[in-house]
C-alpha cells in the first residue's frame, strides 16, 4: 500500500502546485511584475500569464480537473481495496470491508487534498504572490503548450458564455479613486510607504474636488500696489509685505487692475533714484470662483502665469491664488511651533492650535482629522471664520467660544468685523463639565 499512498500524495502535491499557480498569478500586481520583468526572464513569463488570464485559468482548470479525476479514481480503487483486504483479515465480511475501505480512503484523501492540495499552497501564494508567480511561470507555460487543444476549447467556450451574459472584456470596471485610496492606505499600514507619502497622495486625489476659493488669499488680505500712488507709498507696501509678486491697480479701484508686478523685473534698477516700479507688468489672469483647483493649475500653466485673481459671477474680485497655494494644498498646510503673525497654523505646547480665521475648510478638516465641520450641512462657508459665524449667527466678540464634540473653538482676535485668530483645543474628560 506504500506505493499507492506515494502516488496519491504526488497527485495531491501536483494539485497544490496548480492551486498555488492560480492564486499567485491572479493576485500578483502587474506593476510589480513589469518592474521585475526588466531584469528577469522568468518574471516576463509570469507577466505573460497575468496578461492572458483566460488562457491561464483554462490551463489551471485542465490540470486540476485531470488530477482530481486521477486522485479519486486511483486512490479510491487501490487504497480502498487494500484497506478492505486488511479488514477482511480481521473477520469483517468482504462487502462491508470494501465499503469501509473506500469510505476511509476517500475521507483521508479528501482531507489531505484540502489541506495540502488547496489551503496551504493558496495561503503561501497570498504571502508573496509575485515571487511564487515567477517561480511557477515556466512550468505552467510548458504545461499550457502540452494541453493547448483542451485550453483552446475551454477558452472558446468561456468567451461564448461571457458574450452571452454581456460580460466580455469591454465591460471590465475601471479602477476607482476609492480603490486607489484603499490601496495607498493598505500600503501605509504595511510600511511600504510612510505616513507623509500616504497623506500627500490623498491630498493630490482630493485636489481635483477642491474649489479654488478654498486655496485663495481673500480679497481683504491682498497686498495691492497702486500706479496712481506715490513711490514712497508703494515701497512702504512692499516693505511691510515682502512678496515676490504684487497685483497692481489704478487709484485704489479693484475693478481697474493694470497687471502683475514681479520683483525680479526691478533687479536691474536697484539703487536708481528714479526707479519706475511699473515699467514691466505681466498680464493679469482671471479665474472664476467656481473653478476647481486642478483646472486653475492648468490655466496657470497654459498662460505661463504664477498667480491669478479669482472673480465671482458678478466680476467682483474675491481673492488671489498662486501656484504656491496649489502646491501647498499637495504638500500640506504649513504648521509651526513658533508663533508668528504669518503662520496660518500654530501648534502650541499644550496641543491646542492657534489658527488664522482665513484658513480654508479643507485644511481645517485635515488638521483636526474630521470628515465634517460644525454646521457644514446647513451653511455654506469656506473658512474657519465662516464656520464660527455660522455657529453664532452673528459676528462674535473676543473671548466667545463654543463646543462641538470633543473640540472647543474660541475667538481670540478680531480685526474689525473680521475674525482674525481662533484657538482650537481638545476637551479632555477632566476638563469637561
Is the CB of residue 153 less than 8 Å from the CB of residue 61?
A: no
* Among 303, 297, 357, 282, CA closest to 327: 297
Question: What count of residues does the chain have?
Answer: 433
Residue 288: how many CB atoms within 10 A of its CB?
17
Report residue 262: phi and psi, to 5°. Answer: -105, 125
Q: In the structure, what pLDDT confidence band is assigned to residue 37 with cuts at 50, 70 and 90?
A: confident
CA distances from 170 to 28, 68, 180 (A): 22, 34, 21
What pLDDT is recorded for position 272?
A: 67
What pLDDT, in 10s, does the model give residues 226-273?
999 988 898 899 888 888 889 999 988 888 899 999 888 887 776 666
Return the SS3 of 347. Answer: strand
pLDDT surpassing 80 at residue 88: no
Is the CB of residue 61 less than 8 Å from the CB of residue 18?
A: no
What pLDDT, in 10s, does the model give residues 327-385?
887 777 544 333 334 567 888 888 888 988 888 888 888 888 888 888 888 887 888 88
Residue that is written with C-alpha cell 479643507 in the block: 362
Is the CB of residue 22 less than 8 Å from the CB of residue 60?
A: yes
Residue that is written with C-alpha cell 536691474 in the block: 268
* CA angle (355, 361, 367) in 5-degree steps: 55
What pLDDT is recorded for position 334?
A: 45
Cell digits of residue 151: 485550453
Average pLDDT over residues 153-163: 79
Q: In the structure, what pLDDT confidence band is assigned to residue 320 with cuts at 50, 70 and 90?
A: very high
- CA Rg, the chain, in Å? 35
What pLDDT, in 10s, does the model give residues 214-235?
888 888 888 999 999 988 898 8
What pLDDT is recorded for position 335?
A: 41
What pLDDT is recorded for position 76?
A: 67
Amino acid at each position: 500500500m506504500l506505493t499507492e499512498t506515494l502516488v496519491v500524495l504526488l497527485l495531491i502535491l501536483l494539485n497544490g502546485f496548480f492551486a498555488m499557480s492560480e492564486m499567485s498569478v491572479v493576485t500578483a500586481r502587474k506593476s510589480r511584475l513589469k518592474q521585475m520583468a526588466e531584469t528577469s526572464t522568468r518574471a516576463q513569463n509570469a507577466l505573460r500569464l497575468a496578461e492572458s488570464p483566460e488562457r491561464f485559468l483554462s490551463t489551471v482548470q485542465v490540470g486540476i480537473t485531470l488530477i482530481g479525476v486521477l486522485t479519486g479514481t486511483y486512490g479510491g480503487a487501490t487504497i480502498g481495496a487494500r484497506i478492505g483486504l486488511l479488514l477482511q483479515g480481521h473477520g469483517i465480511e468482504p462487502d462491508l470491508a470494501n465499503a469501509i475501505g473506500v469510505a476511509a480512503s476517500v475521507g483521508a484523501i479528501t482531507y489531505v487534498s484540502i489541506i495540502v492540495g488547496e489551503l496551504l499552497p493558496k495561503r503561501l501564494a497570498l504571502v508573496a504572490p509575485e515571487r511564487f508567480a515567477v517561480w511557477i511561470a515556466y512550468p505552467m507555460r510548458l504545461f499550457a503548450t502540452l494541453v493547448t487543444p483542451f485550453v483552446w476549447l475551454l477558452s472558446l467556450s468561456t468567451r461564448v458564455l461571457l458574450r452571452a451574459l454581456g460580460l466580455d472584456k469591454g465591460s471590465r470596471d475601471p479602477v476607482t479613486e476609492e480603490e486607489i485610496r484603499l490601496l495607498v492606505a493598505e500600503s501605509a499600514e504595511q510600511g511600504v510607504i510612510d505616513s507623509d507619502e500616504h497623506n500627500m497622495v490623498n491630498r493630490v486625489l482630493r485636489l481635483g474636488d477642491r474649489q479654488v476659493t478654498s486655496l485663495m488669499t481673500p480679497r481683504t488680505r491682498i497686498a495691492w500696489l497702486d500706479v496712481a500712488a506715490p513711490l514712497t507709498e508703494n515701497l512702504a507696501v512692499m516693505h511691510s509685505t515682502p512678496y515676490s509678486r504684487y497685483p497692481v491697480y489704478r487709484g485704489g479701484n479693484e475693478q481697474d487692475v493694470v497687471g502683475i508686478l514681479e520683483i525680479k523685473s526691478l533687479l536691474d534698477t536697484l539703487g536708481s533714484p528714479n526707479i519706475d516700479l511699473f515699467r514691466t507688468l505681466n498680464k493679469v489672469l482671471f479665474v472664476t470662483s467656481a473653478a476647481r483647483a486642478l483646472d486653475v493649475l492648468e490655466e496657470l500653466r497654459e498662460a505661463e502665469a504664477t498667480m491669478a485673481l479669482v472673480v465671482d459671477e458678478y466680476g467682483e474680485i474675491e481673492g488671489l491664488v498662486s501656484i504656491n497655494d496649489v502646491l501647498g494644498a499637495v504638500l500640506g498646510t504649513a504648521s509651526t511651533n513658533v508663533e508668528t503673525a504669518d503662520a496660518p497654523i500654530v501648534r502650541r505646547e499644550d496641543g491646542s492650535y492657534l489658527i488664522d480665521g482665513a484658513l480654508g475648510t479643507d485644511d481645517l478638516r485635515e488638521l483636526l482629522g474630521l470628515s465634517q465641520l460644525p454646521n457644514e450641512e446647513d451653511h455654506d462657508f469656506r473658512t474657519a471664520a465662516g464656520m464660527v459665524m455660522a455657529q453664532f449667527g452673528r459676528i462674535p466678540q473676543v473671548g466667545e467660544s463654543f463646543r462641538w464634540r470633543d473640540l472647543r473653538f474660541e475667538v481670540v482676535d478680531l480685526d474689525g468685523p473680521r475674525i482674525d485668530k481662533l484657538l482650537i483645543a481638545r476637551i479632555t474628560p477632566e476638563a469637561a463639565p
